[in-house]
Amino acid sequence: MKDLLKSVVVMMMVCLLTAPAWGESDRALMMATTTSTDNTGLLEYLVPEFTRDTGIEMKWVATGTGNALKLGENCDVDVLMVHAPAAEKQFVENGFGLDRKEIMFNDFVIIGPASDPAQIKGRSVSDALNKILETQAVFVSRGDNSGTHKKELFLWKSAELPVPEAESWYVQAGQGMLATINMAGEKNGYTMTDRGTYIKYEHTAQGNPQLKILVEGDDFLKNQYSVMAVNPNRCENVNYEAAVQFSDWITGEKAQNMIGAFKLLDKILFIPNAR
């Protein structure tokens, strides 16, 4: 029921954003993207420059990657910018997307209270999850089929641990990343986030966040972002030419340099890596 309600809300957002121009040849390019690209302010920084360079207006809806891919399948958007590589590749293999390109990456981190009740600081991801499980410390999961949630489930599996969905200490927020971080803070618990959103959270807290980075740098924690157009053979009304222009633009030299220069608290949020 929670997933159904979330999908309905996202669809209502899409309808509100696209209704004025839908069906017009010069309508705005519509993108489904992750909450991290929106929460960090990256899109507000990039999109006006894209519009200046191309004359194409862009609108977007920020949601979990699972919902973003579903919007692509349902022909509700033209282009996707998401961060769940396995799901993206399956989306392309199923014929819904075209020309997936890597754009940038950052990494995931596990954060928690400075008191660190499960004693996970400096451990590997596998050891940290084992300690959280053993101590039954509060862990707040996105629980929303987002790219971050998919990665978290993968990490439990990689550590050869069951996902503790039925445990009272394992809380499924069903919300975006910043809301999930704030919930973890309220519960004095742990969560996993992309580094870009954590820096935004740190910035909001004026450099003194309640939750600290405790686990980082593990090879399992890379967080790759990609762009791909919705297949016009599946969706006849898709604004494919504009989607390709955006894909070419964001993987081009100018946008890649802009991504590399984007900072909060003098920290880089995303590392460009378009090929």
Same domain, 101 and 233: yes
We report the CATH number of the domain holding residue 17 as 3.40.190.10
Give yes or no: residues 117 and 215 share one domain: yes
| pLDDT digits 0-9 by tens, 135-184 | 999 999 999 999 999 999 999 999 999 999 999 999 999 999 999 999 99
* CB distance 271 to 252 below 8 Å: no
Residues 156 and 85 in one domain: no
Per-residue pLDDT tens for 55-74?
Answer: 999 999 999 999 999 999 99
Which structural domain, as residue segments, surrounds residue 240? Answer: 2-105+224-272
Q: How many domains does the chain have?
A: 2
Write out pLDDT tens, residues 92-116: 999 999 999 999 999 999 999 999 9
On whether both 209 and 136 belong to a single domain, the answer is yes
- The CA-atom distances, in angstroms, between 59 and each of 4, 18, 38, 56, 78 are 24, 8, 11, 10, 10
Share of the chain above pLDDT 90, in %: 88
> Do 118 and 201 reside in the same domain of the chain?
yes
- Kindly state whether residues 111 and 97 are assigned to the same domain: no
Number of other CB atoms surrounding residue 123 within 10 Å: 17
228 and 166 in a common domain: no
Look up residue 58 and give its two tokens: 């862009």
